[in-house]
Chain A
Amino acid sequence: MTDLPPRSRGVIALLDANCTVCMICARECPDWCIHITSHTEVEQQPGSARPRSRNVLDRFAIDYGQCLYCGICVEVCPFDALHWAPEFGYPGTGSIEGDGAVAELVHERDVLATWVEKVPPPPPLDPAAEAAPETATGTGRRPGSLRGRT
């Protein structure tokens, strides 16, 4: 099998749980290929004074027949709901008369969820870089603080 680089752009996977229906990916897509439908649910959360409304995702579809694999949606999602996966073998097959091959390339929410397991773990950090402050070996101070480094 082909050994693909870590950030290969094969297919985009959707993490349902992270999506808050902010619509930023649908608006930024240059091809208009992300289709999102949602509705608002109002429910009373325990411990809050008034009912809270939240947006519930109904339909999230990416038209891979239109997608130009630019990655703008992945970059711009503020909640890391979209991820690249290096999988590339998903051609659309139509009938023997030639119908429906391109329509099969519209991946709905359930198909996008199946790509999530193909998402590779993020590449490891550069070992020569400074350790992140969150780790035990970090400086233990605010990120960017200069104490002890000048």
Chain B
Amino acid sequence: MTTPKTAFGQTIHHVELADWLATATAQHGNGYVMFDWLGVEDAGRPGAAGQRHAVFLHVIDPRTREGVMLRTEIGETDALPSVAHLWKGARWHEREAAEMFGIAVGSEPEHLLLPDSFEGHPLRKDFVLASRVVRPWPGALEPGEDNTSAPSRRRTAPPGVPDPSWGPRREEENQ
């Protein structure tokens, strides 16, 4: 187990994925029996979005009302051990993490909030929002430019729009 870091009144344990269950069990044994939340965020380095995720677990000791945060990093192919047997409320949050981020947690995830026909894991940073690709950005025009002539220099792209190689190809381009 790593030494916890305390800053701004909050204690965070940075643990390896292999120690996740052991640390959670130990904290549960220390009296942190009240579940607060379990969340996931992207832990990618710049240029490597969507590959690694950080899992946060915040639990509270109801007697002292102190909380402790556990943090681990999980890669693409790793599975997160479930802590739902310690805190029942974690089950929903783990299911949401599995659905929204694609983190494998135990059993096969079924759709919790998304419609059944949805494919993909939308809260990942590498998930492209199709509307931003399809809809033309009004700010792409330069001052003094109308829609008719070809652009004189490469147009700037707004945030969230991938480069033109993303997306399905048309048939005639596959020659």
Contacts and interface: CB of A to CB of B under 8 A. Distances in A.
A and B: direct contact (Cβ < 8 Å)?
A: yes
Interface of A: 20-23, 26-29, 32-40, 53, 55-56, 58
A23 B146 contact: no
B106 to A, nearest CB: 39
Nearest to A23: B143
Interface of B: 135, 137-139, 141-147, 158
Give the 6 A-B residue pairs with the shortest CB-CB distance, closest first: A27-B139, A40-B144, A55-B144, A26-B139, A26-B138, A21-B143
A32 B137 contact: yes
A35 B146 contact: no
B69 to A, nearest CB: 32
A23 B138 CA distance: 9
B138 A38 contact: no
Contacts of A53: 144
A16 to B, nearest CB: 16
Contacts of A32: 135, 137-139, 158
B138 A21 contact: no
Contacts of A39: 144-146
B138 A35 contact: yes
Contact of B138 (A20, A34, A55, A58): A34
Nearest to B149: A39
30 contacts: A21-B143, A22-B143, A23-B139, A23-B141, A23-B142, A26-B139, A27-B158, A28-B139, A29-B138, A29-B139, A32-B137, A32-B139, A32-B158, A33-B138, A35-B138, A36-B138, A36-B141, A37-B141, A37-B146, A38-B141, A38-B143, A38-B146, A39-B144, A39-B145, A39-B146, A40-B144, A40-B145, A55-B143, A55-B144, A56-B144
Contacts of B139: 23, 26-29, 32
A58 B141 CA distance: 13
A60 B3 CA distance: 59
Contacts of A33: 138
Given A36-B138, A56-B144, 8 more contacts: A21-B143, A21-B144, A26-B138, A26-B139, A32-B158, A33-B138, A35-B138, A39-B145
Contacts of B137: 32
A33 B137 CA distance: 9
Interface centre among B137, B144, B147, B158 (most CB of A within 10 A): B144
A33 B34 CA distance: 46
Nearest to A38: B144
A26 B137 CA distance: 9
A39 B174 CA distance: 37
